[in-house]
Amino acid sequence: MAQSTAETDANTYEQFLEKVRRIENLGAGAGVLQWDQEVKMPDEGIEARSQQLSTLSAVIHEEFTDEEMGAYLNELESTDLDDEQAAVVREIRRQYDRKTRVPTELVEEISRTTSKALPKWKEAKAEDDFSIFAPILEELIELKKEYAEHIDPDADPYEVLFADYEPYIELEKAEEMLARLREELVPLIDSVSDSDAELATDAFAGEFDPDTQEKLARDALDVLGYDWDRGRLDTAPHPFSTGNQFDARVTTRFDETDLLGGLTSTIHEFGHATYTLGLPDEHYGTPLGDSRDLTVHESQSRLWENHVGRSRAFWELFHPRVEERFPDVEASGEDAYEAANQVHDDNLIRVEADELTYHMHIVLRFEIERELIEGDLSVEEIPETWNEKMEEFLGIRPDTDAEGCLQDIHWSHGSFGYFPTYSLGSVLAAQLYANADEEIDDLDGKIREGEFDPLREWLVENVHRHGARYTTPELIEEATDEAFTADYFLEYVTEKYGELYDL
């Protein structure tokens, strides 16, 4: 292997990093355009906006996959690099390989097909008619299989697709974890359903003015310590969080009849934004200043949403704020805690599910999409398979496909392999929270007092500040001194729901 002088190496690495930063900046620019499109853009703006985004995406692709990038990677891989440099090269190499292996025509065809699939899915859902969506879903499945084949012809195609969302956790590991969730949660949910415990489920029943809900959401972000100099709150039909360590924005939505939904959605997105804000400023524009993949990102949102935002301590702290904004509400901290943790065993909709049944929705999707990609299930069989699994896992059966297999947008985006990261994120949240709880003196008491800095600092120190320096398993090991495990999650839900439902 050719070994250049130390000085040349340093120059090459700096030039490479300059190129990486350039690409990241273009990507960040596209992110602002997407935020604007969802949150601020007037309707008719879409015509020009889609051209702007498609140009940006073409420029990014060209810059990422050009000969110069290949040459930098080859040269740097045969050079002595320090740990940080090696991590940057590892991350860029992985993306470079995935991008260069797929022919541009196929990328464009997938992009065209998903553009057509989205309105078809919307129509199918609105009309409750799966046959409207089925043909284009079939096309998408074939295209994504072809895509996977280009990236790695020897691998299980679902494994390749899954790695687009979670590259460092092996599919086998994810599968084991989901199987364990299914095995242990189904009986737990059954016991909850059989329980006679009466929770204060009506604590937040009523109608709530959205403008006042927004004020309450801002109260929650104030209490949790959101940095308004580096963020903002807006509403969007599908809440998301986006940005970088200098500007990480939260979106949420408010439903007049669902006060808790707006709050938990806000806290969830706050968790994502808090991760982004914890990334090191000095590494902006490189993988060292960028977040890890979906499992870790989702662990941060779920940690704040569930372990904080659905905790007794939080509701003891926060219920007076609800009463200040909505004087008609008379819910004690305990009432609020119970309402926020009610298990809805008759709920058909994933995004409205509680901490327990949620994972059954994910296991169902995971099992279906694996079989779809492997060719063991045909598109026409989806509705029936879906309904059977709902019956098997939760004892309920959707009356319509709109409330069944048409409820989620993901497949219309061609996103097969995305769903599992939601459950993996929850599982990791529990593992991280258990460690933080161990290491922070009286964390529960601190939350009750509104002191969130220790928890946030623990997460910055153990997760955020590393950016993408470590792979996901390395990062988990680094933060918790053990491998990724569902033990903590199962312990957490067993204890919490055992107490709530007198099991």
What are the residue numbers of the active site?
Answer: 269
Q: Decide whether 291 or 357 has the Cβ nearer to a second copy.
A: 291
Q: Does 55 bind a second copy (CB under 8 A)?
A: yes
In the complex, minimum distance from the CB of residue 56 to a second copy, in angstroms, rounded to a whole number: 6
Binding part of the chain for a second copy, among 25-33, 202-210, 403-411, 455-463 by CB under 8 A, reads 25-33
Q: Does 88 bind a second copy (CB under 8 A)?
A: no
- Tokens 């986006």 — which residue? 242
Q: Using CA atoms, how far apart are residues 475 and 465, in angstroms rounded to an integer? A: 11
- Residue 206, helix vs strand vs coil: coil
Q: How many residues bind a second copy (CB under 8 A)?
A: 43
Annotated ligand binding at 307? The verdict is: no
In the complex, minimum distance from the CB of residue 287 to a second copy, in angstroms, rounded to a whole number: 15
Residue from 6, 15, 22, 205 in contact with a second copy (CB under 8 A): 22
Binding part of the chain for a second copy, among 27-35, 182-190, 306-314, 370-378 by CB under 8 A, reads 27-35
Q: Decide whether 40 or 112 has the Cβ nearer to a second copy.
A: 40
Q: Decide whether 231 or 262 has the Cβ nearer to a second copy.
A: 231
In the complex, minimum distance from the CB of residue 303 to a second copy, in angstroms, rounded to a whole number: 23
Return all residues near 486 (Cβ < 8 A) that are at least 6 apart.
177, 180, 181, 427
Q: Using CA atoms, how far apart are residues 391 and 383, in angstroms rounded to an integer? A: 12
In the complex, minimum distance from the CB of residue 401 to a second copy, in angstroms, rounded to a whole number: 32
Q: Does 59 bind a second copy (CB under 8 A)?
A: yes
Q: Using CA atoms, how far apart are residues 169 and 297, in angstroms rounded to an integer? A: 14
β 233-235/247-252 pair status: parallel
In the complex, minimum distance from the CB of residue 60 to a second copy, in angstroms, rounded to a whole number: 10
Annotated ligand binding at 361? The verdict is: no
Q: Does 386 bind a second copy (CB under 8 A)?
A: no
Would you list the DSSP string of 319-380? HHHHHHH-TT----HHHHHHHHT---TT---GGG--TTTHHHHHHHHHHHHHHHHHTSS-GG
In the complex, minimum distance from the CB of residue 26 to a second copy, in angstroms, rounded to a whole number: 6
**Interface pattern 211-230 for a second copy (x via CB under 8 A):** ----------------xxxx
Q: Decide whether 183 or 227 has the Cβ nearer to a second copy.
A: 227
* Residues forming beta bridges with residue 255, ordered by sequence position: 258
In the complex, minimum distance from the CB of residue 269 to a second copy, in angstroms, rounded to a whole number: 15
- Residue 443, helix vs strand vs coil: helix
Where residue 225 falls (left for φ over 0; alpha for ψ -120 to 50; beta otherwise) is left
Q: Using CA atoms, how far apart are residues 243 and 241, in angstroms rounded to an integer? A: 7
**Interface pattern 259-288 for a second copy (x via CB under 8 A):** ----------------------x--xx---
Q: Does 93 bind a second copy (CB under 8 A)?
A: no
Q: Decide whether 194 or 281 has the Cβ nearer to a second copy.
A: 281
Q: Does 72 bind a second copy (CB under 8 A)?
A: no
- Residue 252, helix vs strand vs coil: strand
Q: Decide whether 67 or 229 has the Cβ nearer to a second copy.
A: 229
- Nearest residue to 144 via CA among 167, 130, 160, 132: 160
Neighbours of 206 (CB within 10 A): 12
β 247-252/241-244 pair status: antiparallel
Residue from 12, 29, 146, 403 in contact with a second copy (CB under 8 A): 29
The secondary structure element, H or E, covering residue 89 is: helix 83-101
Residue from 3, 8, 15, 51 in contact with a second copy (CB under 8 A): 51
Q: Does 28 bind a second copy (CB under 8 A)?
A: yes
Q: Does 26 bind a second copy (CB under 8 A)?
A: yes
Segment 227 to 246, residues that bind a second copy, using CB under 8 A = 227-232, 243-246
- Nearest residue to 301 via CA among 426, 459, 417: 426
Record the tokens describing residue 7, joined without a space.
């000085």
Would you list the DSSP string of 57-76? HHHHHHHHHSHHHHHHHHHH
Where residue 502 falls (left for φ over 0; alpha for ψ -120 to 50; beta otherwise) is left
Annotated ligand binding at 272? The verdict is: yes
The secondary structure element, H or E, covering residue 192 is: helix 171-194
Segment 30 to 49, residues that bind a second copy, using CB under 8 A = 30, 32-33, 36, 40-49
Q: Using CA atoms, how far apart are residues 312 and 476, in angstroms rounded to an integer? A: 27
Q: Decide whether 72 or 470 has the Cβ nearer to a second copy.
A: 72
Q: Does 111 bind a second copy (CB under 8 A)?
A: no
- Residue 246, helix vs strand vs coil: coil
Q: Using CA atoms, how far apart are residues 455 and 265, in angstroms rounded to an integer? A: 20
* Residue 116 amino acid letter: K
Q: Decide whether 54 or 400 has the Cβ nearer to a second copy.
A: 54
In the complex, minimum distance from the CB of residue 234 to a second copy, in angstroms, rounded to a whole number: 8
- Nearest residue to 443 via CA among 279, 307, 332: 307
As annotated, the binding site for Zn(2+) includes: 268, 272, 298
Q: Using CB under 8 A as the criterion, which residues of the chain lie in contact with a second copy when the complex forms?
A: 21-22, 25-26, 28-30, 32-33, 36, 40-49, 51-56, 58-59, 227-232, 243-247, 249, 281, 284-285
As annotated, the binding site includes: 268, 272, 298
